[in-house]
Chain A
Amino acid sequence: MAVVLILVILAVGSVVFHLLSPWWWTPIASNWSYIDNTITITFWITGFVFVAVVLFVAYCVLRFRHRPGNRAAYEPENKKLEVWLASVTAVGVAAMLAPGLFVWNQFVTVPADATEVEVVGQQWLWSFRLPGADAKLGTSESRAIGDGNALGVNTSDPNGLDDIIIEGGELHLPVGKPVKMLLRSIDVLHDFYVPEFRAKMDMVPGSVTYFWFTPTRTGSFEVLCAELCGTGHPQMRGTVVVDTEADYQTWLQEQQTFTQLLAASKEQQQTAIASSASSTK
């Protein structure tokens, strides 16, 4: 019976593929191993159901396929069996949902000691902003975007003046410290996605979204955009480097603050005006 054989091969083959597949999630680099565990539980439950159903179908085809003189049984329903199956299913579903909701609660509850880091997406570039010495991010709005102020930080907000701004460069984070990623976009939807961190969230122009995580190992990780944002979507890459505390501080010292950037841009403008003035002479 070709049909039976193929169904069995399909069920067994899927499990073998699952076990031997070289394509598996990237080694985790954040505290969200809970998410991986929930996926593993879900794989076990769903895998069992899949194999059971397909093998049952194969058995039925083998055992009850048409032979001359056969006649099907007459059985309109079996209340007991149906209720029993529905209950078992409900328990299985609950076994997946309960840990899921439990972990989701952790996912949306940001720890109080998390440092804030802002990620700004635009077509097709990642920028970052870290709070300066005052440990506070200044407010921002897209109408403020202009020369020397690519992220639209409010110049009138004193909290923003010492913010550290990284346009299109690497973001460094200290290992072992929870961070709250504040996500902002200045044009279309983007999605800040680092496969090793597991967490991701859309960035919506006009509002600030967030997620939090704790980096658990040092290394350099690639940032991808996970929400279609136009032609350059696949090219929108960035880098997050997770450092030891000492390395992080060294890196931090080398970065420019908002005030410095504003001053630099003003200087540039002046030299540009001066040079154009001298060339017209």
Chain B
Amino acid sequence: MVDIRSGASEAIPLAEVEDVELYHPKSWWTHYVFSQDAKIIAIQYSMTAIAIGMVALVLSWLMRLQLGFPGYFDFIDADHYYQFITMHGMIMVIYLLTALFLGGFGNYLIPLMIGARDMVFPYANMLSYWLYLLAVLVLVSGFFLPGGPTGAGWTLYPPQAILSGTPGGQDWGILVMLFSLILFIIGFTMGGLNYVVTVLQARARGMTLMRMPLTIWGIFTATVMALLAFPALFVACVMMLFDRLLGTSFFMPAIVEMGQQLQQSGGSPILFQHLFWFFGHPEVYIVALPAFGIVSDLISTHARKNIFGYRMMVWAIVIIGALSFVVWAHHMYVSGMNPKFGFFFATTTLIIAVPTAIKVYNWVLTLWRGDIHLTLPMLFALAFIVTFVNGGLTGLFLGNVVVDVPLSDTMFVVAHFHMVMGVAPIMVVFGAIYHWYPKITGRMLNEAMGQIHFWVTFLGAYLIFFPMHYLGLLGIPRRYHELGETAFIPESAHTLNMFISVMALIVGAAQILFLFNLAWSLKRGKPSGGNPWRATTLEWQTPQTPPAHGNWGNELPVVYRWAYDYSVPGAAEDFIPQNQPGLGMPTREHAS
């Protein structure tokens, strides 16, 4: 897919990369399989993430079939249902979104956008991918082991996660889940070191921090957060493994399970929840911040206007990243922790709303007086704004401790987090793929298929998750395999569930069209040229498209301006690439 000419790579002068040594592939295997080129690793990461994401999509179909048409599908019994929701959640949050945003977009875009030849530790970068693949395989192996995968819910709360009342609790399911997470975290750490240090150390001359595109700011901040937050999940997984395998009681209090007194005593299930959410809340922003960054660049490029309030946007990303470490217990308002914490965590949580709102204002103010090209990336960016604002606002319900009490653990929560960290970031993923596919392959994605994909996905997803909030208001709890005969649930709620399920099937099917488009356009797409969107950032200025090994040919780019010089008064074109010295603007040269 990516054309690497080994001839070109030999010409790269090593002097300018100093202690960052560029590796050179010697055979087909080291070119395309055990590659240390960030671009290849990015594609490997993305394809694996999309493949496992499709598994999670099918799982969501199955659970929606059960919820929409209870009793029609005998093979989806309670055990299977819980296994499906668990695997769906874990795959989507960690193995799809985290891996795709950081491993996929991070690997592809960081070196190109900051003007580097590659990541600084290519070997660790390669290991990162192979550990990720191993983690995915271990995770999937759960489906084939006796007892099936774990059905503990993606939060894996003990004690039930490791007891026999939960599918996989006393079988292999929970073990492979924990091992897989541990592998993922080790692999991610190797990749994450690369993303952070590459941004710190490999920026091209002139690429100051404040000239970096917001995409890089988002990915960079998210990676720093992930490096500090994933250890919490690691610790929780290790301790739970000990509880499950060796009978320790980190999380296990004295328990009488099905009439049997268990050996363990004194452990604290709440301790697990603290560790889990200490990772889990930053995780939300680990997914959201790259999406924030990417969507800023999409909007700016396709509205032909600089991102409004760039400095505010950077500060907001950093502040959101920092604050997200002190809000974790808002997932635990009704967990039985000391209720006094509610005051603190509700306040910090609602404070985060302010920088987040500023980002939203700046996105829409970028549209104001822009020159809006309604390309597919722009459409997805608009869809992101709508769904993110919707999901973010319902977060104000759940973050406000007392409002959370009736709504927590209901379908309202499910609708909220799907809208805000499912639909909205996925909109950005799609927008980003439509945007950067021409750079990765040299061809445009098919527009007609893209339009169908966009409208079905956006409107379908909104129609799935917006009404779902109201099921939660009604009081329907989440994680119910069937609602049963329940007095307060009217017949119409079942009709709504049926509608949601049908929409879910349709939206899922549209993703198959998208995958087809990805494959079809590879050979038959319209050739794009090097800079089809007339964008300013460095990745569009590479000498070859797709970029060759080493990215920049003989000379590294020099950066003369920030990433958002669109429609500058007096300039000949409505964009000025970052590596172009003050063209067409003699008066502004001295302004600093």
B354, A205: Cβ atoms closer than 8 Å: no
A206 proximity list for chain B (CB < 8 A):
253-254, 265-269
Partner of A205, one of B253, B335, B373, B482: B253
Q: Which residue of B lies closest to A227 (CB)?
A: B409
Q: At the interface, yes or no: B555 with Cβ under 8 Å from chain A?
A: no
**Do A188 and B312 form a contact, CB below 8 Å, given A46-B394, A46-B396?**
no
Q: How far is the CB of B592 from chain A (nearest CB, A)?
A: 14
Instruction: Give the A-B contact count at a CB cut-off of 8 A.
Output: 323
Which of the candidate stretches A3-11, A246-254, A273-281 sits at the interface with the other chain? A3-11
A45 proximity list for chain B (CB < 8 A):
396
B269, A205: Cβ atoms closer than 8 Å: yes
- Tally A residues with Cβ within 8 Å of B: 97
Partner of B372, one of A56, A60, A77: A60
Q: Which residue of B lies closest to A26 (CB)?
A: B488
**Do A23 and B492 form a contact, CB below 8 Å, given A57-B364, A85-B361, A104-B402?**
yes
Q: Which residue of A lies closest to B389 (CB)?
A: A53
Q: At the interface, yes or no: B165 with Cβ under 8 Å from chain A?
A: yes
Interface positions, chain A 2-39, Cβ under 8 Å from B, are 3, 6-7, 10, 14, 17, 21-26, 32, 34-35, 38-39
A89–B361 Cα distance when bound, in Å, is 10
Interface positions, chain B 329-388, Cβ under 8 Å from A, are 334-336, 339-340, 342-343, 346-347, 350-351, 353-354, 357-358, 360-362, 364-365, 367-374, 379, 382, 385-386
A42–B373 Cα distance when bound, in Å, is 35
B488, A24: Cβ atoms closer than 8 Å: no
**Do A222 and B371 form a contact, CB below 8 Å, given A85-B361, A202-B336?**
no
**Do A234 and B254 form a contact, CB below 8 Å, given A24-B470, A72-B305, A77-B309?**
no
Which of the candidate stretches A141-149, A164-172, A262-270 sits at the interface with the other chain? A141-149
A78, B406: Cβ atoms closer than 8 Å: no
A53, B160: Cβ atoms closer than 8 Å: no
B567, A72: Cβ atoms closer than 8 Å: yes
B261, A145: Cβ atoms closer than 8 Å: yes
A38, B159: Cβ atoms closer than 8 Å: no
Q: Which residue of A lies closest to B395 (CB)?
A: A46
Q: How far is the CB of B589 from chain A (nearest CB, A)?
A: 16
**Do A231 and B167 form a contact, CB below 8 Å, given A39-B397, A57-B386, A108-B342?**
yes
Q: Which residue of B lies closest to A39 (CB)?
A: B403
A50, B389: Cβ atoms closer than 8 Å: yes
B368, A64: Cβ atoms closer than 8 Å: yes
A39–B16 Cα distance when bound, in Å, is 60
Q: At the interface, yes or no: B308 with Cβ under 8 Å from chain A?
A: yes
Q: Which residue of A lies closest to B159 (CB)?
A: A188
Interface positions, chain A 225-239, Cβ under 8 Å from B, are 225-235, 237
B564 proximity list for chain A (CB < 8 A):
76
A196, B305: Cβ atoms closer than 8 Å: no
**Do A200 and B152 form a contact, CB below 8 Å, given A65-B374, A189-B157, A231-B82?**
no
B405, A74: Cβ atoms closer than 8 Å: no
A152 proximity list for chain B (CB < 8 A):
256
A205, B480: Cβ atoms closer than 8 Å: no
B153 proximity list for chain A (CB < 8 A):
228
Interface positions, chain B 294-320, Cβ under 8 Å from A, are 303-306, 308-312
A122–B261 Cα distance when bound, in Å, is 13
B256, A145: Cβ atoms closer than 8 Å: yes
A252–B160 Cα distance when bound, in Å, is 34
B373, A201: Cβ atoms closer than 8 Å: no
Q: How far is the CB of A62 from chain B (nearest CB, A)?
A: 10
B574, A72: Cβ atoms closer than 8 Å: yes
A158–B124 Cα distance when bound, in Å, is 66
Q: How far is the CB of A150 from chain B (nearest CB, A)?
A: 9
**B-facing mask of A180-205, CB < 8 A → 1, else 0?**
00010011110101011011111111
B487 proximity list for chain A (CB < 8 A):
222
A123, B309: Cβ atoms closer than 8 Å: no
Q: How far is the CB of B258 from chain A (nearest CB, A)?
A: 7
A230, B343: Cβ atoms closer than 8 Å: no
A10–B253 Cα distance when bound, in Å, is 49
Q: At the interface, yes or no: B410 with Cβ under 8 Å from chain A?
A: yes
Q: How far is the CB of A46 from chain B (nearest CB, A)?
A: 4
Partner of B159, one of A7, A97, A187: A187
A57–B383 Cα distance when bound, in Å, is 10
A72, B371: Cβ atoms closer than 8 Å: yes
B370, A60: Cβ atoms closer than 8 Å: yes
A binding-site residues for B, Cβ under 8 Å: 3, 6-7, 10, 14, 17, 21-26, 32, 34-35, 38-39, 42, 45-46, 49-50, 53-54, 56-57, 60-61, 64-66, 70-78, 81-82, 85-86, 89-90, 93, 96-97, 100-101, 103-105, 107-108, 122-123, 141-143, 145, 152, 183, 186-189, 191, 193, 195-196, 198-207, 209, 222, 224-235, 237
Going nearest first, the 3 A-B pairs with the smallest beta carbon separation are: A206-B253, A195-B475, A230-B165
A-B contact pairs, 15 of them (CB 8 A): A45-B396, A56-B364, A66-B371, A72-B567, A73-B305, A75-B305, A93-B351, A100-B400, A196-B488, A202-B335, A204-B336, A206-B265, A222-B487, A226-B408, A227-B157
B binding-site residues for A, Cβ under 8 Å: 78-79, 82, 151-153, 157, 159-160, 163, 165-167, 169, 253-258, 261, 265-270, 303-306, 308-312, 334-336, 339-340, 342-343, 346-347, 350-351, 353-354, 357-358, 360-362, 364-365, 367-374, 379, 382, 385-386, 389-390, 393-394, 396-397, 400-403, 405-410, 459, 462, 466-467, 470-471, 473-475, 477, 479-484, 486-488, 490, 492-493, 496, 564, 566-569, 574
Other than the known A46-B397, A123-B257, A228-B479, what 20 A-B pairs have Cβ atoms closer than 8 Å?
A17-B466, A23-B473, A23-B492, A23-B493, A24-B474, A25-B473, A65-B374, A71-B567, A77-B311, A93-B350, A101-B343, A104-B401, A143-B261, A187-B255, A199-B405, A207-B253, A229-B160, A232-B78, A234-B477, A234-B481
